[in-house]
Structure 1
Amino acid sequence: MSSLTRVPRASRKQSDDRRADFEQRVLRAVEELLADGTPYTEIAVQKIAVASQAARSTFYRYFPDKSQLLIRMADLATADLFAAAEQWWETEHADHESGVVAAIGAMIAGFRQHRYLLLALSEVAAYDRDVGAYWRERVATFVDMVRARLESDRERGLIHASVDPAATAIVLTSMVERSITVAFAPSSGIADDALAAALGRAIWLVVYGDAPRK
């Protein structure tokens, strides 16, 4: 006999699908509202709810406040961005900088797609405790992955023995994060491919520029 309290699998899937659809509508609505230059803090919840075709009560059932909304939207927006970076760090790339440039290019493309939301995230993280803690933890996870890869490459003799994996991981991650944020300012005039080439070359030279040659 099936449990009277257990939710059938089909019902759970329908519920998950409804939530995913709702979150995507909210993400599109928030990004469209940010696109005209309105600061995130000035966008009312009611306006987001209307733009995403959701009742205010439905909105608050998923997002208790605007900080939690921004955190969830950032999760959705950065999924592909971090996946591109992680894919590069999981492959062999010591021989040439082209692989680094390609990975950074994919990250920049992901940032370009969600630039209004991610720029708002960077701004709000500076003063909102919950958003700031979320973003620091998100970045720290990536730093740990980079550090682990650098440690592995150093043990295998692929990078110079003097490279400090922990410090270098922080430097590289901060360089990428800050460079993309600054380059996406309206007045920078830097093309995405030029930014990818410059960042990719800088990263490769830092990690492999003085690597032992066989």
Structure 2
Amino acid sequence: MPSVTRRPQAKRQERREQIERQLLDATDRLMGAGASFTELSVDRLATEAGISRASFYIYFEDKGHLLRQLTGQVFSDLANGAERWWSVAHRRDPADVRVAMTAIIASYRRHQPLLVALNEMSAYDPLVGSTYTEILAGISARVTAIIEQGQAQGTIRQELPPESTATTLTWMVERSCQQNLPGRPDSYDAELANALTQIIWGALYLEAP
């Protein structure tokens, strides 16, 4: 017999995820139009997202709590892009790396104003900073597993320390997008995707791309 409480809990979680996505889209739009996150009021965010102020406070303590949750949403999008390589890494095809880098750059481009705000706020908000670091650590752990698998198969350089290599590559992609995309036209994205592909492939694999 199904649990009586499980269904309401599941519905509440679905509703929370829906509201988070609406708020992420609303924040992207407002910041893309020139607003800074610090000047956005809860009322303005809620109105743009199509929810009530009361609904906002059911799920979030304040804007800082919202920002930490949005961090997870944004990096989930980035990880989904990276999966286009991770999930087929056994094929050892540089085209898969390029597809992943292209998807990651597109996500950075889409969420660029919010990511800039996250980067700035992480420097002086300990909770935002720890959330940001923990999520990137999770991505690094996934890359570590790819490196260890490739080393076991003899396709990735044995002399590379998996964890520190994964961390370096993860932060390289993050910093490259953060520093290079603002102010650059969309036409630059393909150039950056190609550069990151060449660097990652050359660093990890024994064969040329």
TM-score, length-scaled by structure 1: 0.84
Per-residue deviation, 1:74: 2.4
> 1:157–1:212: 8 Å Cα contact kept in structure 2?
no
> 2:72–2:135: 8 Å Cα contact kept in structure 1?
no
- Aligned partner (choices 131, 135, 145) of residue 132 of structure 2: 135
Per-residue deviation, 1:23: 2.6
- Give the Cα separation in 2 of the matches to 1:163 and 1:56: 51
* Aligned CA distance change for structure 1 residues 66 and 163 (closer, same or farther; 3 Å): same
Quick check: 49-58 or 158-167, which moved more?
49-58
Matches within 5 A, 1:62-211: 62-92=59-89, 95-187=92-184, 191-208=188-205, 211=206
Structure number with the higher helix fraction is 2
CA RMSD of aligned residues (A): 2.6
- Equivalent pairs: percent with the same residue? 35
Deviation digits for residues 102-156 of structure 1, max 9, x if unmatched?
1111111122222222222222122211111111110001111111221221222
Q: Helix, strand or coil for the counterpart of 1:21?
A: helix
Listed as ranges, the gaps of 5+ residues in structure 2 are none
Q: Which amino acid aligns with 1:7?
A: T
Deviation digits for residues 54-102 of structure 1, max 9, x if unmatched?
3322211111011210122222233232022134123236744222111
Per-residue deviation, 1:205: 0.4
Q: Which amino acid aligns with 1:183?
A: N
> 1:144–1:169: 8 Å Cα contact kept in structure 2?
yes
Listed as ranges, the gaps of 5+ residues in structure 1 are none
- Give the Cα separation in 2 of the matches to 1:181 and 1:153: 29
The answer as to 2:5 corresponding to 1:7 is yes
Q: Helix, strand or coil for the counterpart of 2:89?
A: coil
- Give the Cα separation in 1 of the matches to 2:106 and 2:166: 22
TM-score, length-scaled by structure 2: 0.86
Deviation digits for residues 20-78 of structure 1, max 9, x if unmatched?
43333222221122113332122222221232233322211111011210122222233
- Give the Cα separation in 1 of the matches to 2:57 and 2:130: 22
Q: Helix, strand or coil for the counterpart of 1:158?
A: coil
Q: Say which one has the larger Rg.
A: 1
Per-residue deviation, 1:212: 7.1
> 2:23–2:49: 8 Å Cα contact kept in structure 1?
yes
Q: Which amino acid aligns with 1:166?
A: E
Q: Which amino acid aligns with 1:120?
A: A
